[in-house]
Amino acid sequence: MDWKTDWGLRGRMAFTMFLLFALYVVFVGALTVYFGDFLFPLIMLGGFSIAQYFFSDKLALRSMGAREVDPDEYPDLHRRIERLSQQADLPKPKVAVANTRVPNAFATGRNRKNATVAVTTGLLDSLDEDELDGVLAHELAHVKNRDVMVMTIASFLSTIAFFIVRWGWLLGGDNRQGAPVIVAILVSLVVWVVSFLLIRALSRYREYSADRGAALITG
């Protein structure tokens, strides 16, 4: 397989992460005003980021109702993913299945060695062999491009900002009154909207890049 580096994807990822980093700086400043302390928001953001980095795969699988399956349960699915992983020069990821009629598939995991490819029973029932290979190769291309890790990091800021926008009045304790709280929540709202737009702009290109990768993997 002649896998070439997608510099368009890397450039967009780098630019998006740079803008998100700038948003982080603004966001930490807003939280500092909100809590009246610089150290606490850094500890809070650091704790959330570490938890999301290490446990986002489990949370994603649980949110979809997917469970890890072994080769005895889904032998054909395991064989396909193992074959496609070899063609993509990737370690075989874990395999998960969600029992739902909605056809869907996704990849999760913080790196290539900890990746999981999940599919729904609706997808397995509705696609022929070539179509299923195409979908699985698309998800493996996400793993090979490290999209899962990048999008996990990128979505973290949006998640925290949304949390503060929604529950900020409850977190302030005795400081809930006055301009600092209002400013912090307004800044969080702006951060949430801007980060959402940045993630969406990156996400669409990622999907096209994964399609190209799937074509290369499957031939």
Catalogue the active-site residues.
139
Write b or e for each residue in 76-92: b if 16 or more Cβ atoms lie within 10 A of its Cβ, otherwise e: ebbebbeebbebbebee
Both tokens assigned to 128: 């022929």
Read off the amino acid at residue 77.
L
Give the residue from 95, 102, 94, 109 showing the smallest Cα distance to 142. 109
Tell me the sheet residues that pair with 95: 117
Q: Cβ distance 78 to 85 under 8 Å?
A: no
Give the residue from 48, 189, 195 showing the smallest Cα distance to 181. 189
d(CA 28, CA 45): 8
7-35 helix and 147-171 helix, angle to the nearest 10 degrees: 20
